[in-house]
Amino acid sequence: MLSLNEVEQNKIFTINKLDNKDNRSRFKEVYIKRGATGEVYGVEVPIEEYLTYTTERSEKDALQIYLDHYDIFENAMDHFVSDMKESGLNLPAFVKEINRSELIYKKLNSVV
């Protein structure tokens, strides 16, 4: 595997699998090799950056609801993050609530 010895391969296989997430912000782990050895590093980005580049459909859908309302991406993002923090919910719970609320809203408005 990419000319990596067994020790280096094992480091790669631990990425995002270690139970070290308590009391930490959202982060992803990456393996960086310099010379003969490499290390696994945790990478944290602000929630705004995470949401800008997420590929999770439910997160993109929830942010789109805000974008439809606020028109400008920066305004939508600011309100989304502010509302999430004010709600006290973590990101997955907040996204689920926004998407659920939008579905209910659409159903109510489709009744003639």
Report how far residue 66's alpha carbon sits from residue 76's, in angstroms, rounded to the nearest whole number.
5
> pLDDT higher for 108 or 10?
10
Domain that holds residue 17: 6-44
14 and 68 belong to one structural domain: no
Per-residue confidence (pLDDT) for residue 24, from 0 to 100: 65
pLDDT in tens, 14-66: 887 877 666 666 778 889 998 888 999 888 889 999 999 999 999 999 999 99
52 and 106 belong to one structural domain: yes
61 and 92 belong to one structural domain: yes
Tokens of 45: 């980005």
Q: Is it the case that residue 108 has pLDDT exceeding 90? A: no
Q: Is 42 exposed, middle or buried (0-12, 13-18, 19+ CB in 10 A)?
A: middle
* Of residues 57, 49, 35, 43, the one with CA closest to residue 81: 49
Return the bridge partners of 96, or none. Answer: none
Whole-number average pLDDT of the chain: 86
| Mean pLDDT value of segment 83-87 | 95
11 and 39 belong to one structural domain: yes
Report how far residue 69's alpha carbon sits from residue 66's, in angstroms, rounded to the nearest whole number.
5
61 and 85 belong to one structural domain: yes
